[in-house]
Structure 1
Amino acid sequence: MSDAVMTDAVMTDPAIADAVTDVQAMLDVISVQAVWCVPIRNGLGDITDFEVRAASPDAIDVHGRSGKELIGVRTLAMYPSVLDTPLWQSYLRVMRTGEPEEVIRYEHMEAVRGIPHRSIYTVKASRLRDGLLQVWTRHDDEERLAARQAHTERLGSLGWGRWDFVTGEAEWSPQLYLIHGRDPADGPLELEGYRAITHPDDYSVVENAVAELTTADGPYEFEFRIRVGGAYRYIRATAELSRDATGRPIEMHGVLQDVTDWRRTADQLMTVRQRLEEESQLTSHLQHIIMPVQDEPVVLPGMRVAARYDPAETAPLGGDWYQAIALNDDEVLLAIGDVAGHGVAAASAMAKLRHAITGLAFAHHDPAETLVALNRLLRRMRPDVLATAIVARYQPRSRTLTWTHAGHPPMLLVRGDKVRRLLHPGVLLGVFDEVAYTTASVRLEPGDLLLMFTDGLIELPGRDLFDGLDILSSTIEETMRTAPGDPLTAVTDVLTPSNTSDDTCILVARITPNNLEVS
């Protein structure tokens, strides 16, 4: 029987058709790169190729095909260099024995758009319903993620270290050497070595931290000064002990951040506080320093933007923030977020996220990559803090808005007097160590309004947030139908926080014609 005849037989086999339905349903709901293939056999029953019949949404091949675009692709027909490799032999053994196998760091060489391209994968193969399930991890993606992590550590001026009490070994990230002004050739500093570089006034702080760590059942955060060169630097440390089954400490992990510049700013703010008679004046001043708000709309490429911050009545210093800035003449960053809690701790975490998100945007991270980096930053620096955010990039040339969410209320798109919710949900920041986000895009029109806000605008005790969204949408639609003058100002002025015990950020952008835009 020829391959063509065999393929027709496979495609019309009712059992295979049922299996395709079941396997695709499974792959649709799992976050892995995976495909399920059926074997193509010759007249002697030997496997001559595999054909993809189901694929996970996250699956992507070396040519950039993803998800269901891979269905119908044959392994050797599309990737001929796989033939006679350990990977191909593994596929044949799995189909013969039924035992799953894993090929670690398989190196695949192939021309992509005429250019030789090297990719490294770890592939797990299993027999499933008379077919072959392939699940893979692409290691060059991991290497790019490691580079982005290093970039984030540099932006945040933080590094991580590990000290093994059993073997005496220690390990530092590259940024930790920079924070200490230490040559990597000298290796990590042993814990005992910190006494020699710690400011004498901070010995008690370090000793108290050691005492707390020996009894704590989680991370402990403290701040001390170390001598770097001829000056002292302020270091904020978060450390945690790992223990064996008997409870004996065997390892310590720590994240250290150089907060010298922040501390100097804080000291300057304390000087300001001494000149103020009322604490409320201080909190207002602090909020403006951390997140200044323009009194009038600002002009950015392709849009005008108005913003407002309404502090909580009971706790004026909060964690709500926004950002609206031109990255260049062709692109604008719009972002908004909410750090859980109030007071200096929430405002400090908010400032870190706001500054980090701006740096990441200038480093050409897309919104999804930015949120992954922010989540990693938050988990390392403030594992006790949760936050929500929306990050968007607008390109006025094509009038394209690309965005993603992290547990935040949706943006609203106002076109004419109709309001539409731009939904693209993702997990909160700070919940899990490893997260993934995707982006969505929409083309905007001149005159469109974009509304981003924090939950203080729509929440009330006992009321669902979606009820608040409905009321907000109705208010905006009525304003657009009846209010004279500038819609940007009219909508911004009519928005009133429903929960005055929580701070609220509001950002409204109106799309303007742009002489750079293309159809």
Structure 2
Amino acid sequence: MTSEPAGPAESGAPDTVALAKIVARQRAEMDRLRDQAATSAVVERAKGAVMALTGCSPDAAGEELLQRAKAAHHTLLEECWITLGGLAPQAPTAASADAPEQDAVVHAFPVAEAGGPRDLGRLGRALVRVGTPQDLARCLLEHLSSTEADAVMIFARLPAGGLELVGHAGIDETLAAQWRQVPPLSGIAALDALRDGQPRWLEDVETDRERYLLIGDPPERWLSRAWLPVVTRDRADVCIGVLRAPGGRFTPAVREHLLAVARLCAGRLRAFDPRREPSSDAAVDAVQTVFDALPGSTMLLAPLRAPSGEVEDYRIEAATEETFDAFGRTGRDLLGLRLLECFPSLAGEPLWEGCRHTLTTGEAYDGEPFAQQAVVAGVAELSTYTVRVTRLGSGLAVSWLRHDSSDRQEQRLADVQRLGNLGWANWNLITHDVSWSSQVYTVLDRDPAAGPVRLAALRDLAVPEDAPALTHAVGELLRRGRPCAMPFRIRATDGIRHLRIVAETVTDVHGTPVEVHGFLQDLTAQRSAELALVESEQAIVTQHDVLRAERTLAARLQHALLPLPTRPVQPAGLEVEVAYLPAQSGIHVGGDWFSAIELPDGDALFVVGDVAGHGIDAVATMAQLRFTAKGMVITGSSLTGALARLNTLLLHSRDTHGTATMVLARYNPDGHRLVWAQAGHPAPLLLRAGEARYLDRPGGMLLGASSHPHFQEAECVLEPGDRLLLYTDGLVERPSEGIDRGFKRLADALVTHHGNESGSLGPMLADLLEGERRDDVCVVDIRVPFSNF
């Protein structure tokens, strides 16, 4: 009893080798029959022309064509094209001079004075050598010089209703790219010509632009145009456009000549038009009949090439009944359609590149598995597919293989192992057989050719430090059947790997372990992340402790150097309130400070300053500037002189830090005169009679910015009830807004809180400093009592 040969896989995929042989034979027969049909059509038209010219019988006309071809060393097909192009009688007998028959030929094949039979004859001979629509466009432009043609464009109708530019001459590539694809819109002259099969003569740009979208940049480049439908297989699918720079009407002779040219091109276009609908001849039906009998999803594709030779799409020449596209069309409904019409999202996908590679190299392409919903036995279900592409003659056979549930389970298991970086392992304790999945070899960095190792030999793969613990865990698993979940490390080519083995035993009826199964997993990435996280946390804690200690020290130092008074002070008879508010963001303390003292001569000295930066260095610099400034003024230095010396101190002292701003003000109670100077600091704010204004700043630059600074003094006479505010920039600056807005906000707040009584500084600052403060704020609030006057 002989066994049956193996059939197709359960997935429904056809036998590719058998399919290739069948389709190759059928395709060869189809090509032969198609060429025969095309040749026959041209021969019959040429015989009809000779019969109309000479009045002879069909047999005599055929013999005449054969004799001409033999005499000129042409093929019969070439001679037929030349005869159709010439359209001139070459009668071997006197009967050809019959005038009515001549008139019939002229009526059937009109020729124009503009070109004449000789021009059409030359064009017919040239058409024999034309191989692509692009070649045809160039040929037409060359042979239409008598019609003043400057450019030729050939559009083919797409199945979806639009147009595609398949050939052009006389236009640049930029314009060609813009008109490569034309959607099925109204106002396209070529589309209108194809819809009703009648030519469109556009002879007035101003009038035509109101009806049609004119080609050209600018459209006035061509002042007249003709769009000529070419009828092939009893319908017009190709339109030839003739564009002329001269304006005006096409003469009747030129019109007749162009129509004759269009008819002359019909046979040639049909011969190489890749967008023709599938023929209903016996060869095509035979190929499709084979596909109708095949299981699974398979398509036969013919490449469609652009004028440059690049494959731009594929035509579906045959398809099995189970083949379906993105729009639900199946089987024979797909014939003649383009691949991108059926699967619009396919361009640029791996399958598209796979088709190109297979067509170029002949190597089969096998795609990655993908999921797609399909109807199986009338029920919609999500199935897993793979696609295979093989070359078949000049075309491609594309098969979709649907995998059954067991195939999907196996694929899912492989995916889980790959994604989880783990693999299963099985040890038979009776037969000592060991089986591993391929991923175990990857996890252990072991060559599959070396084979698996026995369970007890795993300790030899571990680093020496982990071998004892792994040996103990495996021993407990084998002796007592305790499940094993043990981390260990191995040395691999990429360094130390952190692995984990999880295993359990299978026992016989007596409870004796007979098999061990489990998995090994690579946890190196996870372990590295854990160690990095622990190190980062430790560094953060250490840094936080250091910064907290620094902040505590700086705060204590600042408090010691800048004690805040517990009640208002009254130097030189003025009432003074001070406020210091440290920043709330960050953990650094700043370098803002103030002084409000009475000098030995009875004058009052007010100082507000701000050292750039934060931390201990800023506090130390602040202390040095604060005490040095007071000492200089007490010992007789002028305000500008004190600022100049402080600038020198910042520039040349190793103990100072960065730069600083400052305001120095000296008040004389006898004349109520306030003399002040500043170094890059905001001007004091004066409130008088309910109006707030900033004092005009005298010249002065930032301390520590230049070795040759220039400072000036300004004077202001204070009046009873005046209120003067000295402050640091933290009071007016806010992120993401201009400083002028902060100055206005401070002035408005001072007007609002204009009470003469002490204690209003706190509420005003509370209103001004809502939210988080990013900088220190230092304020000296000076009031002039009425009792002093």
Query: Normalising by the residue count of structure 1, what TM-score does the alignment of the two structures yield?
Result: 0.43
Q: Which has the higher strand share?
A: 1
Tell me: higher relative CO, structure 1 or 2? Use CA pairs within 8 A at least 6 residues apart: 1
Q: Which has the higher helix share?
A: 2
Query: Normalising by the residue count of structure 2, what TM-score does the alignment of the two structures yield?
Result: 0.29
Higher Cα radius of gyration: 2
